[in-house]
Amino acid sequence: MNRLNGKTAVITGGATGIGRAAAKRFIEEGAFVFIFGRRQEALDAALADLGPHARAVRGSVSDPADLDRLYAAVKAERETLDIVFANAGTGSPLALGQITGEHIDETFDTNVKGTILTVQKALPLMGSGGSIILTGSSAGTTGAPGFTVYSASKAAVRNLARTWAQDLKGTGIRVNVLSPGATATELAKEALGEEGQKAYGAMTPLQRMADPAEIGAVAAFLASSDSSFMTASEVAVDGGLAQL
């Protein structure tokens, strides 16, 4: 398929996990992709895998100057931007009663502030037909024990799409949320181990964790004109975890 032929995409958190899987799928479907992330080593490894239709910019979504560098690079090489996948996110467990201001700031700086800045700074390069995709989470719907701050941040991301769909009326730009559940990313493998992944996957009706490529495939759908009458929507790709 070449649903994204000639399109230019930005993917934050694009060096690993869901972001890298989405970048690979976007390129397979004809897009030119800029990946953005904090670790140069991971960016270099991703570029080696993704090939000549990818570029990498190092930086943090919570730093406006880093995002300015990203979009300056996009403008210099491609002039305009068609797809923004605001995928960068962070989260760690901290039980109620132990939550600190630092923990709140770290999580919301990336998941909420970073998402807002990523999208807001992209808009001058976007036009009619553009697609914005925000990474939510099943935890934003169900909550997750010990993940108060992360769950709240992802609920906020869900609301951003509802608000922005109204703010973007008349522009032809769509905004939707992609909400994964249990996904076998590098981070999940490190945090959960093999047994933890099996236990987490068993919580879903499909009895397994998702492969990042399965999430990337849905991101490609939301990026393409196949989803042209969708905005303000949330697409759950969670094996049914938050649906039952």
The model's pLDDT over 67-109, given as tens digits with 9 standing for 90+, comes to: 999 999 999 999 999 999 999 999 889 999 999 999 999 999 9
CATH code assigned at 51: 3.40.50.720
Is 145 a member of any domain?
Answer: yes
Is 2 a member of any domain?
Answer: no
Active site (annotated) includes residue 75:
no
Number of domains forming the structure of the chain: 1
Is 242 a member of any domain?
Answer: no
Is 42 a member of any domain?
Answer: yes
Is 1 a member of any domain?
Answer: no
Is 243 a member of any domain?
Answer: no
Mean pLDDT, range 48-57, rounded to an integer: 98
Chain segment 108-153, per-residue pLDDT in tens: 999 999 999 999 999 999 999 999 999 999 999 998 889 999 999 9
Q: What pLDDT sits at residue 191?
A: 65
Of 154, 169, 189, 200, the catalytic one is: 154
Mean pLDDT, range 159-176, rounded to an integer: 98
Is 3 a member of any domain?
Answer: no
Q: What pLDDT sits at residue 70?
A: 98
Residue 182: give the domain boundaries: 8-237
Mean pLDDT, range 44-48, rounded to an integer: 98
Q: What pLDDT sits at residue 218?
A: 98
Is 68 a member of any domain?
Answer: yes
Mean pLDDT taken over the chain? 95
Of 7, 71, 150, 200, the catalytic one is: 150
Active site (annotated) includes residue 24:
no
DSSP line for the chain: --TTTT-EEEEET-SSHHHHHHHHHHHHTT-EEEEEES-HHHHHHHHHHH-TTEEEEE--TT-HHHHHHHHHHHHHHHSS--EEEE-------B-TTS--HHHHHHHHIIIIIHHHHHHHHHGGG--TT-EEEEE--THHHH--TTBHHHHHHHHHHHHHHHHHHHHTTTTT-EEEEEEE-SB--HHHHHHHHHHHHHHHHHTSTT-SPBPHHHHHHHHHHHHSGGGTT--S-EEEESTTTTT-
Chain segment 175-226, per-residue pLDDT in tens: 999 999 989 887 777 767 788 788 888 889 999 999 999 999 999 999 999 9
